[in-house]
Structure 1
Amino acid sequence: MAYSKASDFEERDVVVARFAKALSHPARVAILRLLAKQTACYCGDLVQELPIAQATVSQHLKELKDAGLIEGEITPPKVRYCINRVNYDMAKLYFDNLFI
């Protein structure tokens, strides 16, 4: 069995793979599109826009946050999400360069 470590690859490639994994579900792509259109949004607002349950939206938000594509600010009892502009712009640049 072949085994590879992320540390054996260029940092840029590891980052692109992390972003790609986070975008591997259509719900996450939809969430990212919705958040990109506004400055910030609450989880409940996203639930109203998407055809999935609140718990599922929360799981997808966690994946996007773990990948660094979005940020969450806790203002009890809600969490407000927004695009992490630095990483979002980096992802756009890396994906553009990937498909040259």
Structure 2
Amino acid sequence: MARAATTTDAFNAVAEPRRRQILDLLAQGEMPVNDLVEVLGLAQPQVSKHLRVLREVDLVRVRDEGRQRMYRLNAEPLKPIHDWLRRYEQMWNERFDLLEQVLDELKEDDDGSDD
């Protein structure tokens, strides 16, 4: 099965680790492309390419401020990812709760054997 283009939805766009790094940085606040280049240690064309993909799925918004282009996170397209992951979060929480019960039982057994 062919993989969907990275510009079709947020799931595909965030599959790339560098784009997730960009989103993490923009979650801290609006940044110009030059700051992103400096922090990421990538060439400006590489960062711009990632920003273009993120803009095409509406995860990033851009505005001109003088001679700079300012980028900011638009988290709304991440909601379907969050909703999808929530099911797995519930499953893991249930498993951790069961593990905690087992550990508590083992601790009680161990504490009781000291008598």
Fold equivalence (TM over 0.5): yes
Q: TM-score, normalised by structure 2?
A: 0.62
Q: Let me know the Cα RMSD of the aligned residues.
A: 2.3
Runs of 4+ in 1 over 4 A off after TM superposition: none
Equivalent pairs, count? 84
Aligned partners of 2:80, 2:66: CA distance in 1, in Å? 30
Within the candidate set 76, 83, 89, 1:94 is matched to 83
| Structure number with larger C-alpha Rg | 2
Aligned partners of 1:42, 1:93: CA distance in 2, in Å? 27
Aligned partners of 1:69, 1:99: CA distance in 2, in Å? 23
Q: Any gaps of 5 or more consecutive residues in structure 1? A: 4-16
Within the candidate set 46, 53, 60, 1:70 is matched to 60
Aligned partners of 2:33, 2:70: CA distance in 1, in Å? 7
Asked if residue 55 in structure 1 is aligned to residue 40 in structure 2, the reply is no
Within the candidate set 81, 87, 96, 2:71 is matched to 81
C-alpha change, 1:18 and 1:51, in structure 2 (3 Å) is same
Check whether the contact 2:11–2:81 (CA below 8 A) recurs between aligned residues.
Answer: no
Q: TM-score, normalised by structure 1?
A: 0.71
Q: Secondary structure at the match of 1:74?
A: strand
